[in-house]
Chains A and B, each alone.
Chain A
Amino acid sequence: MSDVSYVRTEMLPEKAPPVGQQGLIKWFRENMFSSIPNSILSILAIWAIYAVLSHILPWVFQSSWNASSLTECRANIVAEYGEGATGACWAVVNERFPQLIYGFYPQELRWRLDLAFVGMLVALAPVLFDKLPKKMLWFTAVYPFLAFWLLWGGSIWLPVSIIAGFVLGVVAFKVIGKMFGSLAGMVSVAFVPIIWWLLFAGGAADIAQSIIPLSIQSVPSSQFGGLSLSIIIGVTGIAFSLPIGIVLALGRQSDLMIVKVLCVGFIEFIRGVPLITLLFVASTLLNYFMPPGTNFDIILRVIIMVTLFSAAYMAEVIRGGLAALPKGQYEGADSLGLDFWQATRLVIMPQALKISIPNIVSSFIGLFKDTTLVSIIGLLDPLGLSTNIRADQNWNGIIWELYGFVAVMFFIFCFSMSRYSMYLERKLQTGH
């Protein structure tokens, strides 16, 4: 009749995609078996994972947690899993766990280490998360002295008199700066506190102590050890190296030739030698450079060398921050009529430091890992303690459990810090 044309008036129902194009299979095809080389890679990867896990997992879980010696441990495992079974002897970690964390710090005083650690987190919080109230920075400023007092104990007046040096410095800056100009102010900041510390601080602390005795039991450095020692060395190193690093970075960028040469020389020297040689200097030489008769203990010497070491790296990190700052900031500060120190203090440094935080965190991770080197000069960090524990008659011959535990401990710390620094980097990326 009429022309027969077929026009579909309703939509067909959606068909299910072919089997190969949906669900898990599709995912596998796209992500693991998209081409022949890819498939080979995937199979190799799966095989590698299997090979490693099949060796490690039984060992990890076929284990004994409660034993007082390696022989007892082995007997336990054989009793539980049958003749010839081998497994991890986590009992050593179980028994020595407090030691691996706190070292030989007196048991009844370990809360002080805990408190210092919590305090450190609180002190760091306002630096790391900018949503917190700025008032907390005051705690951050006081914290190092508080921590020092908590860790080593003794009279509280010593840290207080050291703080007094800083306060005097600020006062001197305000007063002398007003009277003789900002340069004189800067000079007085450098000299007044040093004079105070050298000549008066010790005496003032003694006097204050005799008037109002306020002290807690002191703990000698030789009782520090384990993970807490690593953290102490790492954190102190980074904290002290920050101001030195800032000075070095400014010095390196300075137009003053001699200052620049000195700074570059120092930075390149420290960066050119391995940390272990500096630690050898700490353990064998540092006392030679002091006036005859002075003697500091090894942990302090190590902290000094570690600080110098990380200051050189810190200087480079901050130099990077300074370089990343747009030129307009420098010019803007100049156009406001700020002099060099004002510009640096009020405009440049706050911004440069902020963009440097991710790199500071990474250099802290590096330093924290490097604290294991102190085991080579006989300090009892987790690695050094492992050697010591293996010298105990009960645990002689144990290898993997201790190394494994120490590795996991470091991994947890460093990994979480590196994640944090990545988060920060993303947050600071405001460019695009």
Chain B
Amino acid sequence: MKKSVFIGTLAAVSVTAGMAAASTLDDVKAAGELKCGVSTGLVGFAAADANGVYHGFDVAVCRAVAAAVLGDGDKVKFVPTTGKTRFTALASGEVDMLARNTTWTFSRDVDLKFEFIGVNYYDGQGFMVPKALGVASAKDLDGATVCIQTGTTTELNLADYFRSNNISYEPVPIETNAEGQAQYLSGACDVYTTDASGLAATRATFEKPDDHVVLPEIISKEPLGPLVRHGDNQWGDIIRWTLNALITAEELGVTSANIDKMSMEAGNNPEINRLLGTEGDLGGMLGLDKEWAKRAVAQSGNYGEIFDSNIGEGSPVGIARGLNASWTDGGLLYTPPFR
């Protein structure tokens, strides 16, 4: 490992070793922690509690990866990133992966040189309006004032949608979800638009959620997923298959409750065996040990459990599975087989 110290004084603080050639996996193992970029605060997806411990749907993905790679889901350094800083943080190596509600688009994948390793949430941009306005469709929104979060794809979708429908509107750009919520509730804007999951999460925290409706139109496809830098395929594979392991675990009925029992010895279902490392050595192919997937699932449960505890109908956010159900239940989650 080539260690280049950059101006001694600064070295200590955190100038990490410059290793253009070394792999991200080695870096993470050497550092003993996974640096994971998350949002600065979005209910249900990523937020820190009073003790500074992060919780949420996106956070759980980071923890699962940390558990798979390092054996401990708490060895994660969460780096809050804004819409503006997230890509630079990833490109410059400040974070090893970005698990933030980031939409998978062509230009981000190709032009910005990132690798989206899968989709952990199928979303779409929607509109929320107060019931009192009596609006039934987004096409009725002519002349409305619309709150949008800047630095996202939503503002481009919005401009396109209103232009193609010949509707005029007044955009109110806002920096954070909390601010958008304050503006919307006080009536400074008629409509709040963001990803439907974000709308549901925001609506859930209102004093009177029933006074607000999410309009039926979903104006964009927003596949959200974790991403890594181009060029390190091994690292990309690890995160891709960790996510797939979470999803497959739900499909196969492996939960955090029964995983210990199931992984004691090989069972009847060969795919479960391969997943949990009681048969074959899938982990070895990734450069990890046999039990990587077991640890990932054991950390905070399979995809379904993570969904339910953070944003599902059991949680205050209360989002239905919808598109995010397993393909066996009519959703879009369909992973390649573990073979």
Cross-chain contact A162 with B85 (CB below 8 angstroms):
no
Contact B207 A397 (CB under 8 A): yes
Across the interface, do B14 and A296 meet the contact criterion of CB distance under 8 Å? yes
CB within 8 Å for A392 and B47 given contacts A198-B5, A292-B20, A387-B176: yes
Render A363-404 as a binary contact track against B, CB cut-off 8 A, 1 for contact: 000000000000011111000100110111100110100000
In the complex, are the beta carbons of B82 and A377 less than 8 A apart?
yes
Q: How far does the alpha carbon of A182 sit from the alpha carbon of B317 in the complex, in Å?
A: 71
Residues facing A in B50-92 (CB within 8 A) are 50-52, 77-82, 84-85, 88-89, 92
Do residues A294 and B18 form an inter-chain contact, with CB atoms below 8 A?
A: yes
Query: Shortest CB–CB separation between residue A36 and chain B, in angstroms?
Result: 42
Q: Which residue of A lies closest to B52 (CB)?
A: A104
Provide the main secondary structure of the chain A interface. Answer: helix
Q: How far is A7 from B317 in the complex, measured between Cα atoms in Å?
A: 99
Cβ contact within 8 Å between A392 and B49 = yes
Give bound CA distance, A288 to B91, whole Å.
10
Q: Which of A221, A223, A294 has the most CB of B within 10 A?
A: A294
CB within 8 Å for A396 and B205 given contacts A152-B13, A300-B14: yes
The answer to whether B94 touches A295, judged by C-beta atoms less than 8 angstroms apart, is yes
0/1 interface trace, chain B 22-55, chain A, CB 8 Å (1 if under): 0000000000000000001111100111111000
Q: How far is the CA of A95 from the CA of B50 in the complex (A)?
A: 7
**Cross-chain contact A197 with B81 (CB below 8 angstroms):** no
Q: Determine if A295 and B85 form an interchain contact, defined as CB atoms under 8 angstroms apart.
A: no
Among B16, B88, B92, B177, residue most surrounded by chain A Cβ atoms (within 10 Å): B92
When distances are taken between beta carbons in the complex, the residues of chain A under 8 Å from B206 are 397
Asked whether any CB of chain B lies closer than 8 Å to the CB of A222, the reply is yes
Q: Shortest beta-carbon distance, B90 to chain A, in Å?
A: 11
Q: Are A283 and B85 in contact (CB under 8 A)?
A: yes
> Within 8 Å CB of A223, what residues of B?
52
**B5 and A387: CB pair below 8 A?**
no
- Smallest CB gap from B39: residue in A: A391
**A297 contacts the other chain (CB 8 A):** yes
Is B194's CB within 8 Å of the partner chain A?
no
Complex CA–CA separation, A388 to B5 (angstroms): 35
Q: How far is the CA of A122 from the CA of B50 in the complex (A)?
A: 31
> With a CB–CB cut-off of 8 A, which chain B residues contact A133?
none
Q: Complex: how many Å from CA A294 to CA B92?
A: 9
**A291 at interface by CB-CB < 8 Å:** yes
**Residue B285 lies at the interface, judged by CB distance under 8 Å to chain A:** no
List A contacts of B81 (CB < 8 A).
378
Neighbouring B residues of A162 by C-beta, 8 Å? 8-9, 12
- Given the contacts A292-B18, A296-B15, A387-B178, A283 and B88 also touching, CB distance less than 8 Å: yes
Residue pair B41, A222 in contact (C-beta under 8 Å): no
Q: Can you name the residue of chain B whose Cβ is closest to the Cβ of A197?
A: B8
Chain A 155-174, CB-CB to B under 8 Å as 1, else 0, gives 00011011001000000000
**Cβ of B338 under 8 Å from chain A:** no
* B166-210 contacts to A (CB < 8 Å): 175-179, 181-182, 185, 205-207
Of chain A, the residue at the smallest CB distance from B83 is A378
Partner of A202, one of B11, B80, B205: B11
Q: Is the beta-carbon distance between B41 and A387 smaller than 8 angstroms?
A: yes
B334: CB under 8 A from chain A? no
The answer to the question of B4 belonging to the interface, with a C-beta cut-off of 8 Å to chain A, is yes
Q: Which residue of B lies closest to A390 (CB)?
A: B178
- In the assembled complex, which residues on chain A have CB atoms less than 8 Å from the CB atom of B223? none
Q: Which residues of B contact A165 (CB under 8 A)?
A: 8
Q: Which residues, 201 to 225 on A, are CB-close (under 8 Å) to B?
A: 201-202, 205, 220-223, 225
Closest to A102 in B: B52
* A221 and B13 contact, CB distance less than 8 A: yes
**Within 8 Å of chain A (Cβ to Cβ): is B316?**
yes
Pairwise interchain contact B50-A202, C-beta atoms closer than 8 A? no
In the complex, A152→B47 CA distance in Å?
A: 24
User: In whole Å, how far is B48's beta carbon from the nearest beta carbon of chain A?
Assistant: 6
Chain A contacts for B78, CB-based, 8 A: 222
- Excluding A388-B47, A393-B317, 20 further A-B contacts by CB distance (< 8 Å) are A96-B50, A104-B52, A158-B11, A159-B12, A283-B84, A287-B92, A292-B20, A293-B4, A293-B19, A294-B15, A296-B14, A298-B89, A300-B10, A378-B80, A388-B41, A391-B42, A396-B205, A397-B181, A397-B182, A397-B207
By a beta-carbon cutoff of 8 Å, the part of chain A in contact with chain B is 71, 95-96, 98-99, 103-104, 107, 148, 152, 154, 158-159, 161-162, 165, 194, 196-198, 201-202, 205, 220-223, 225, 280, 283-285, 287-288, 290-298, 300, 376-380, 384, 387-388, 390-393, 396-397, 399
A-B contact pairs, 28 of them (CB 8 A): A71-B207, A99-B50, A154-B12, A162-B9, A197-B8, A197-B9, A201-B5, A201-B9, A283-B84, A283-B85, A284-B88, A291-B18, A292-B20, A294-B15, A297-B94, A378-B85, A387-B41, A387-B176, A391-B40, A391-B41, A391-B47, A392-B41, A392-B43, A393-B44, A393-B47, A393-B205, A393-B316, A397-B207
